[in-house]
A and B are shown apart, each in its own frame.
Chain A
């Protein structure tokens, strides 16, 4: 049945969302438009309109720091998203066991997410600093051969970032998945128990598929968080040692502000936009399919 325009768009609702629409169009669409436009120019410190075609993209993909950044984001993304989802789900299941002091535990697990990464990243940096943190403490206690300094080694620094990312992200994944778990009807659990299905099997084959929406939300949030990861890197390693933990967002800011090379920075920003568009398109597709199925059911 075709609904009329008036039914679909309520006037008060449209008026209410106008500020949001203006911000979205003004800041995001126009801003992104200029970013893409300037990525085709030779802009250095000041944006210019001297178009040079794809030259900035060619220079970008020849820059070893950008290549390292791209490799890092894949590694960081795959590791932290998969671990976050697994740990988040396990934590949510744990929290769902009607444990005592649930509020307290929930606060503890959510706490890393609630605090600024600049602060927690710095704390991590201090804990992992060989002269201040864990290593120095163990050595002062008498274990003089103790060696644990992942941040200062170019080969291990990225793992330290992943661990901090998991520490920060698994709490919020837990919160979303816990809400999803609580949304599952109690009757289903009872029915499964009556049928003698083991608990793990109920989780895996019945409950998890019913929580598709919660999983999708948590996944998309994680992905967006990974693409724009910046403060964690700046606070913990500053992109170092050397360029070992550089990330695309760090690279873009570095090029625009420090290197005074707006054109190439915008080319990098445009490259970053692509995966975000893919993720948004994917989540949009999921949402659209779900809406259509629900619409068909009604």
Chain B
């Protein structure tokens, strides 16, 4: 009798084991969300995944600086030990991972979740939808086209708040006289911050249509034209308003100069707003935001972040990966994450009534498709991207390089890009 009970208990437990849900899994996620605002945002993902009811666990692998994090992911993939998931920017950074068959196909849950209908604008979904298959989850829309400025600094210097980059350059000498750093920038990571500024200036100078033409047709002619020379000349003008500590500074230390009222203005994507929010500042009275380097011509870019999942050859882990993928795009997680991060959600059917004045500006601009700028990374490979980083950083650092030289080199890089 006793044996029979034991046997029944054993059988029951075995049955439970097999009939129950798939086993929980730990997923390592590599990302470069390391600043204060960013880690507040990513903890929303971790919290949601840890409490998804399956006992899964988010294993956080935060690596500072995008290019370092991306190269770590690539080395892990090449070495045959890919992480469960990883962050990328939408674009061509991961095209070889797709063609090399390294990524988990998410098409089934994307179909179940109607991703093709809820994700807007279409351009952000197309970063993940390649040849009819979904290879990644877009998690946010960031616009690179922003300038952030300290209202107290402009007030103390006695100059009006800027409405365009040209306004700012005109006001910069007075800000410098008042003892502030007029223009805050950092030169870490091969100069990506300088290139972000540069790309914003390129779009402002060429206009969206001509800029898209330059990148899609690899037009050395447009790249070598007078507008580009004007951009380089303006970039040189901006340099004299920076401080000499810029060389190795990262973006959030740079933002902090504006937050603490040491510097006047920084050109950076809207992830900078997460830093202002984390410092307890609001966009109405403490800091100002200028959209698209020119308030008269507002633009929003479809940059942002996507999450890819790597094939693991383990059905339990792949099930957990798909659970995470579905979770990342669910309305509640989207709102919690994007509010902390300062970005726009990738789906239009969520409540954004809590958005601050800066985000209201971008939500308004995004309504007109003519204002939407395709992310530069969609057009160029990481190789070209880094070549441009180097060119712009070299021009910015080396005052003996003329605007003509730089324009010629820019034209060569664009003409030879693949």
List residues of chain B with CB within 8 A of the CB of A222. none
| Residue-wise interface mask of A (221-253) relative to B, using a CB-CB cutoff of 8 A (1 in contact, 0 not) | 000000000000000011111111000000000
Is residue B393 within 8 Å, beta carbon to beta carbon, of the partner chain?
A: yes
| Residue-wise interface mask of A (247-270) relative to B, using a CB-CB cutoff of 8 A (1 in contact, 0 not) | 000000010011111000000000
Is residue B35 within 8 Å, beta carbon to beta carbon, of the partner chain?
A: no
Tell me the residues in window 25-64 of chain A with beta carbons closer than 8 Å to chain B beta carbons: 44-46, 63-64
CB pair B386–A241 under 8 Å, yes or no, is no
Is residue A137 within 8 Å, beta carbon to beta carbon, of the partner chain?
A: no
List residues of chain B with CB within 8 A of the CB of A92. none
Is residue A131 within 8 Å, beta carbon to beta carbon, of the partner chain?
A: yes
CB pair A258–B70 under 8 Å, yes or no, is yes
Give the CA-CA distance A129 to B188 in the complex, in Å: 14
List residues of chain B with CB within 8 A of the CB of A155. 398
Is residue A117 within 8 Å, beta carbon to beta carbon, of the partner chain?
A: no
With A64-B409, A149-B244, A152-B247 given, is the CB distance from A241 to B71 under 8 Å? no
List residues of chain A with CB within 8 A of the CB of B245. 129-131, 152
Tell me the residues in window 114-139 of chain A with beta carbons closer than 8 Å to chain B beta carbons: 125, 129-131
Known contacts A154-B397, A237-B247; 8 further A-B pairs (Cβ under 8 A): A45-B74, A46-B100, A130-B244, A152-B247, A154-B394, A241-B397, A254-B190, A257-B75
Please give me the residue from chain A that is nearest to B398 by CB atom. A154
| Dominant SS among interface residues on chain B | helix
List residues of chain A with CB within 8 A of the CB of B381. 44, 260
Q: Using CB atoms and an 8 Å cutoff, list the residues of chain A in contact with chain B.
A: 44-46, 63-65, 125, 129-131, 149, 151-155, 237-244, 254, 257-261
State how many angstroms separate the Cβ of A30 from the closest Cβ of chain B: 17
Is residue B264 within 8 Å, beta carbon to beta carbon, of the partner chain?
A: no
Max chain A C-beta neighbours (<10 A), residue from B67, B188, B396, B398: B398
CB pair A242–B96 under 8 Å, yes or no, is no
Tell me the residues in window 73-107 of chain B with beta carbons closer than 8 Å to chain A beta carbons: 74-75, 78, 93, 96-97, 100
CB pair B247–A261 under 8 Å, yes or no, is no
Give the CA-CA distance A244 to B396 in the complex, in Å: 11
Give the CA-CA distance A125 to B93 in the complex, in Å: 31
CB pair A44–B248 under 8 Å, yes or no, is no
List residues of chain B with CB within 8 A of the CB of A259. 382-383, 386-387
With A258-B386, A260-B383 given, is the CB distance from A242 to B396 under 8 Å? yes
With A46-B96, A130-B244, A257-B71 given, is the CB distance from A243 to B390 under 8 Å? yes
State how many angstroms separate the Cβ of A168 from the closest Cβ of chain B: 20
CB pair B71–A258 under 8 Å, yes or no, is yes
CB pair B394–A261 under 8 Å, yes or no, is no
List residues of chain B with CB within 8 A of the CB of A45. 74, 96-97, 100
**Contact of A257 (CB < 8 Å), options: B74, B189, B398:** B74
Tell me the residues in window 337-392 of chain B with beta carbons closer than 8 Å to chain A beta carbons: 381-383, 386-387, 390-391
Is residue B227 within 8 Å, beta carbon to beta carbon, of the partner chain?
A: no
| Residue-wise interface mask of B (236-260) relative to A, using a CB-CB cutoff of 8 A (1 in contact, 0 not) | 0000000111111000000000000
Max chain B C-beta neighbours (<10 A), residue from A151, A237, A260: A260
